[in-house]
Amino acid sequence: MKNMLPNWICGAIGALYLVLNTVLWGLIILILGLLKWSLRIQLLSSCLHWAYRKWCAGNRLGLKLGGVTLHVTMPQEVSINGWYLLISNHISWLDIVVLSAQEVLPAPKFFLKDELKYVPLIGTGAWALDMPFMKRASKSEVAKNPKLKRMDVERTKQSCQNFRHHPTTVINFAEGTRYTPSKQRRQSSPYPNLLKPKAGGTAFALDVLNAQIDGLLNTTLVYHCVDAHICRAFMMGKLTAITVEIEFTPLALLPTGDYQIDKQYRIQFQAYMNQLWLEKSRRIAAIEENYRAANSDYEQEVGQL
């Protein structure tokens, strides 16, 4: 389609398709979730995950209709029948679409803030699919009642029990927010193309999922376009390609401990995340340089900025 139609038409078609795909399957998932909740029929859980995979497949098609080429490096150890914790750099709202579009990955799930359960389609769909909603106690509340410190871990472990029934990829954006150059400068981040990684969220996920996952998927996302606003670039047909590189680390090789009460482990795990991000920053620069060298038109557009 990209060769037959102008870029902006391809972008508009792809963006519209992604919206309609989310509305359609979001409503179907919500209806199935309400039926499962009211009728208590376990078979509906399989139907829900079938619908979710259809949404993921629709995302793959939407990116293709938008004229985007995906360059994916996937380890041989990764299986559609496995359980994984995936950490990634966070650049755009499109990240979720791109990660869910990876056919080999088991169904992507997220740890969500409790307030998001009331967001139409997104929150309601996550509720129907048994994704865990976290309502963490504040520091002042923990100071008054130290038992609350482990409350969220135990509550989330209970929520994650359903992950055992269906292969799952739990996704965590370790930076906590989307990257922008201004945020990078405000943080004084040592990584020119990344924000500082927050170790707590990843350590929390490892603590909760330790008995369920096969390993860690360290994922690097790079969008190849000259517009810093990725979603706008996609809608206008200016997003030419996306690189997705995934590295697999078995669970046995990951540093584990109690991040909340063990100070030494907190220092160790933060150092581990910092090293991953240092390597990720170098890899992003190399990917972008290689892409420019292989695509002269893209190099010319960058040079005109």
Q: Is the pLDDT of residue 88 over 70?
A: yes
Predicted confidence (pLDDT) per residue in 155-201, tens digit? 666 667 777 778 899 999 999 899 999 999 999 999 999 999 999 88
Q: Is the pLDDT of residue 302 over 70?
A: no
Find the helix or strand (DSSP H, E) in which 124 lies. Answer: helix 122-128
pLDDT of residue 112: 77
The CATH code of the domain at 69-303 is 3.40.1130
Q: Spell out where 128-240 has E strands.
A: 133-134, 168-173, 215-224
Position with higher pLDDT, 260 vs 171: 171
Q: Band the pLDDT of 32: cuts 50, 70, 90.
A: very high
Q: Is the pLDDT of residue 299 over 60?
A: no
pLDDT of residue 150: 64
Least confident of 6-15, 68-77, 151-160: 151-160
Mean pLDDT value of segment 223-232:
90
DSSP letter at 247?
Answer: E
pLDDT of residue 260: 78
pLDDT of residue 41: 81
pLDDT of residue 278: 98
% the chain with pLDDT above 90 = 60
Tokens of 53: 């995979």
Residue closest to 87 by CA, chosen among 286, 269, 285? 269
Least confident of 37-51, 71-85, 289-303: 289-303
SS3 220: strand
